[in-house]
A and B are shown apart, each in its own frame.
Chain A
Amino acid sequence: MKHLMSPLDFSVEELDKLFALAGNIEKNPAKYAHACDGRILATCFYEPSTRTRLSFESAMLRLGGEVLGFSEAASSSAAKGESVSDTIRIISCYADICAMRHPKEGAPMVAAEKSGVPVINAGDGGHQHPTQTLTDLLTIQTLKGHLDNLTIGLCGDLKFGRTVHSLINALVRYPNIRFVFISPEELKVPDYITDSLKEKGIPYEEVIRLENVMPSLDLLYMTRVQKERFFNEEDYVRLKDFYILDAAKMELARPDMLVLHPLPRVNEISVEVDSDPRAAYFKQAQYGVYVRMALILTLLEINVD
Chain B
Amino acid sequence: MLNVGKIEEGFVLDHIKAGKSMDIYEHLQLGKLDCTVAIIKNARSNKMGKKDILKVECDINQLDLDVLAFIDHNITVNVIKDGEIVDKKELVLPKMIKNVIRCKNPRCITSIEQELPHIFLLADEEKELYRCKYCEEKGGTFT
Binding between chains A and B: yes
Does B108 make an interface contact (CB < 8 A)? yes
Residues of A within 8 A of B132 (CB): 106
- Is A39 part of the contact surface with B, judged by Cβ < 8 Å? no
Say whether A104 contacts B116, CB under 8 Å.
Answer: no
Within 8 A of A (CB), among B101-122: 105, 107-114, 116
Q: When the two chains form their complex, are residues B108 and A85 in contact, meaning their CB atoms are under 8 A apart?
A: no
CB neighbours of B111 from chain A (8 A): 104
CA of A103 to CA of B109 in the docked complex: distance in angstroms?
A: 9
B110 nearest CB neighbor, chain A only = A106
User: Bound state CA distance, A107 and B133, in angstroms?
Assistant: 11
A 149-180 binary contact with B (CB < 8 Å = 1; else 0): 00000000000000000000000000000000
Asked if B142 is at the interface of the complex by the 8 Å CB criterion, the answer is: no
Specify the main secondary structure of chain B where it touches its partner: loop
**For window 70-114 of chain A, which residues contact chain B by CB distance below 8 Å?**
83-85, 102-107, 109-110
Contact (A106, B134) CB under 8 Å given A84-B109, A125-B107, A126-B107: yes
Q: How far is the CA of A110 from the CA of B118 in the complex (A)?
A: 12
Instruction: With both chains docked as a complex, state the minimum distance between the C-beta of B134 and any C-beta of chain A, in angstroms.
Output: 3
Enumerate chain B residues within 8 angstroms of A125, measured Cβ to Cβ: 107, 135
User: In the complex, which range does the number of interface residues on chain A fall in?
Assistant: 10 to 19
Give which listed residue, A110, A124, A127, contacts B116 with CB less than 8 A: A110
CA gap between A109 and B132 in the complex, in Å: 12
Please give the residue numbers on chain A whose beta carbons come within 8 Å of chain B beta carbons, in ascending order.
83-85, 102-107, 109-110, 124-127
B interface residues (Cβ-Cβ under 8 A, vs A) = 105, 107-114, 116, 132-137
> 13 additional contacts, CB 8 Å, given A105-B134, A110-B113, A125-B135?
A83-B113, A84-B113, A103-B107, A104-B109, A104-B111, A105-B108, A105-B137, A107-B109, A107-B134, A109-B109, A109-B134, A110-B134, A125-B107
Cross-chain pairs A/B with CB under 8 angstroms, 14 sampled:
A84-B113, A85-B113, A102-B109, A104-B107, A104-B108, A104-B113, A106-B109, A107-B113, A109-B109, A109-B133, A110-B134, A124-B109, A125-B135, A126-B107
